[in-house]
Chains A and B, each alone.
Chain A
């Protein structure tokens, strides 16, 4: 289990249910590594500023994380974390490796505003 203060996604069924029942969802799929931790923590800060967006995480090594690992949008990714943004159940953006707060805020403005 990831040691973050975000809500965790633990199964593919839960992810499906979350993206079906929330218009805007951001999922950071990673480990407790140096490229992933900053993204989780920025999500924690932005969660306060964007209550309309569901910010969650998922453990990269859990078998069910294949639903993120195998997304076409993540096919070329070679850097953790894989961060996926959903709107109305569809993937609207995916990023690989660390992103800083400014980059994440820009993505939110671009696809989840």
Chain B
């Protein structure tokens, strides 16, 4: 069965929801598809303190829920927890197959966002939640008094390390460079902490569990020597990657890192296809900039359809 909309928005984070609020309110029939629930990364942010209009910090999941309700209020239709299996964005009429149903539209806004980067080394997937974690606030207390490894040297890695230091006995930071990329004020706090040591210019190559302990193999990137560490747990904060797996082979132009290139109107190289939010090649990735991107893409769609 086929369903037609004026615009299909792929991704229900702030960029996609902002776009939907604008298009639906303008009377443009709007479908939002997301492989997860609505809200993107905002729904997993504890508190948002820099979104205009909220004097006190707002809970991330509450802000996300409000954005979705606002889009629904103007008639946006949602297909959530949905799998896109096929799509053609090249012609005048775009089509997507979603959970066996076909959806067509005149325009598409891609707002699939970005996700934490996995290391993709042996043992990572298998031991997620049983020795490998990606969230200090969620899982830090399971490692109270324990010795752990933190992978990464950016802002997330260092901020989460400070949180973990409230629980753990020691942290060994494994980082691929010789210096931290985090903001100096945060990096200094971690570097000066007596419970923290560093394994510079190393990258994990595999994880195993032996009894209750984790065995971490890491490669020295300068000498190619493999070192083995034994700790109680591993926390991975290795940056973000654009969510473009479903967009490969669609003809969309991307930069070397997989971010979609657009012009200032959010138009991609494919006519009628726009990109907005964190999936777009740009310098600053904030909720506010995503909402701005979504708004611009929506206004372009409203003008064109």
Residues of A within 8 A of B (CB): 3, 31-38, 41-42, 44-46, 49, 76-80, 95-98, 100-102, 104-105
B61 within 8 Å of A by Cβ?
yes
What chain B residues lie within 8 Å of A31 (beta carbons)?
A: 138
Q: Is the CB of A33 within 8 A of B137?
A: yes
**Could you tell me the distance in whole angstroms from the C-beta of A77 to the nearest C-beta in chain B?**
6
| Nearest 6 pairs of A and B residues by beta carbon | A79-B129, A96-B129, A97-B129, A41-B37, A34-B44, A101-B81
Q: Is the CB of B83 within 8 A of A97?
A: no
Enumerate 30 A-B pairs (CB-CB under 8 Å) in ascending A order. Answer: A32-B59, A33-B44, A36-B138, A37-B43, A37-B44, A38-B43, A41-B37, A41-B43, A45-B37, A45-B80, A49-B81, A76-B130, A77-B129, A78-B130, A78-B139, A78-B233, A79-B135, A79-B138, A79-B142, A80-B139, A95-B129, A96-B128, A96-B130, A97-B138, A100-B35, A101-B80, A101-B82, A101-B83, A102-B35, A105-B81
Question: How many chain-B residues does the 8 Å CB contact rule pick out?
Answer: 30
Q: Is the CB of A42 within 8 A of B36?
A: yes
Task: Select A79's contact among B45, B61, B80, B139, beta carbons within 8 Å.
Answer: B139
B103 within 8 Å of A by Cβ?
no
What chain B residues lie within 8 Å of A37 (beta carbons)?
A: 43-44, 61
Contact with A along B101-135 (1 / 0, CB 8 A): 00000000000000000000000000011111111
Closest to A100 in B: B36
Task: Select B39's contact among A41, A49, A102, beta carbons within 8 Å.
Answer: A41
Closest to B38 in A: A41
Q: Is the CB of A38 within 8 A of B130?
A: no
Closest to A4 in B: B61
**Could you tell me the distance in whole angstroms from the C-beta of B186 to the nearest C-beta in chain A?**
19
